[in-house]
Amino acid sequence: MGAGKTTIGLDLADTLNYEFVDLDWYIEDLCNRCISDIFSQEGEARFREIEHEALLQVSEKDNAVIAVGGGTPCFYDNMDIMNHKGISIYLKASVKTLIEHIHIGSQVRSSNRPLLKGMDDKQMGEFITKNLILREPFYLRATHIVPIPTLRGKHDISLISQKISCLL
Say how many domains are in the chain. 1
pLDDT tens for residues 101-130?
988 877 655 455 666 778 889 999 999 999
CB 56 within 8 A of CB 30: no
pLDDT tens for residues 2-46?
899 999 999 999 999 999 999 999 999 999 999 989 989 999 999
Measured distance CA(167)–CA(143) in Å, rounded: 10
The answer to whether position 73 is within a domain reads yes
Beta-strand ranges (E) seen in the chain are 19-22, 64-67, 89-92, 144-147
The answer to whether position 25 is within a domain reads yes
Residue 59, domain CATH: 3.40.50.300
The answer to whether position 27 is within a domain reads yes
CB 88 within 8 A of CB 143: yes
Measured distance CA(13)–CA(89) in Å, rounded: 14
Measured distance CA(31)–CA(61) in Å, rounded: 20
Whole-prediction pTM value?
0.90
The answer to whether position 33 is within a domain reads yes
The answer to whether position 132 is within a domain reads yes
CB 66 within 8 A of CB 25: no
The answer to whether position 166 is within a domain reads no
Q: Which domain holds residue 48?
A: 5-156
